[in-house]
Structure 1
Amino acid sequence: MQDNWITVANIADLAEDDVTGVEVNGLDIALYHTEDGIFASANLCSHGNARLSDGFLEDGEIECPLHQGRFCIKTGKALCSPLTEGVPVYPVRIEGEQVLLNLSAS
């Protein structure tokens, strides 16, 4: 698999302890800025038509704003009902102040 790292944001543009939605190559991506680092997943809930960047981020989990299901931001795993399916996650690399994603590695 080819390494396709794409710059998607500057760290300074991401609020700490929060989630930010960005569009990258036609994909809706959620970026999570936590004390453990920056993580990325698909921004659309696997259960309903809701953007995770409109949800609530706490303790490494993002809560969907529509049905209150939660996903692990590191693995994309669905953690509770009504969710039955996880969301794709993407590798993140930091270079200086830039946040890069590898979209081909999901």
Structure 2
Amino acid sequence: MSWYRVCRSSDVAVRSMQNFPVNGIEVNLYHLEDGWFATSDICTHQDCSLSDGDIDGNEIVCRCHGGAFDIRTGGATRMPCTIPLETFSVRIRNEFIEIEIEP
């Protein structure tokens, strides 16, 4: 696994997300009140981009069909989604956000 720098911590406001291509994978970086989280951008139900979705509490809601996922765990929380999202480790180093992904 390798760490990839994606942005400064000041670039993503609390209660928001931003999409980044990281080593060939589209990743959504979420900044919640209690920390930073990262998931795959692609909904496991119909391959829609979740970066177009809405944050609702601790969930990301897909605009294509209303399904949702837990931002912290990737778990599917609303039908029709049943397969979890891939999640990635996040760390802050010298005010930069880094995401861990297989090279």
Range class of TM-score, shorter chain: over 0.9
Contact 2:2 2:100 (8 Å CA) reproduced: yes
Alignment-derived partner of residue 76 in structure 2: 78
Query: Residue 101 of structure 1: SS of its match in structure 2?
Result: strand
Alignment-derived partner of residue 7 in structure 1: 5
Structure 1 position 19, deviation (Å): 1.4
Consecutive unaligned residues of structure 2, counting only runs of 5 or more, are none
> Which piece of structure 1 moves more, 29-38 or 5-14?
5-14
Query: Residue 53 of structure 1: SS of its match in structure 2?
Result: helix
Query: Residue 76 of structure 2: SS of its match in structure 1?
Result: coil
Give 4+ residue runs of structure 1 displaced > 4 Å after superposition: none
User: In structure 2, how many angstroms separate the alpha carbons of the residues matched to 1:24 and 1:43?
Assistant: 11
Query: Residue 76 of structure 1: SS of its match in structure 2?
Result: coil
Q: 1:47 aligns with which of 45, 48, 61?
A: 45
User: In structure 2, how many angstroms separate the alpha carbons of the residues matched to 1:51 and 1:36?
Assistant: 24
Query: Residue 12 of structure 1: SS of its match in structure 2?
Result: helix
Aligned pair count?
Answer: 102
- Kindly report the root-mean-square deviation, in angstroms, between the aligned alpha carbons of the 2 structures: 1.1
Spell out the pairing of 1:56-71 with structure 2 (5 A cutoff). 56-71=54-69
Query: Residue 84 of structure 2: SS of its match in structure 1?
Result: coil
Structure 1 position 84, deviation (Å): 1.3
Percent identity of equivalent pairs: 36
| Greater per-residue strand proportion | 2
TM-score by length of 1: 0.90
User: In structure 1, how many angstroms separate the alpha carbons of the residues matched to 2:94 and 2:55?
Assistant: 25
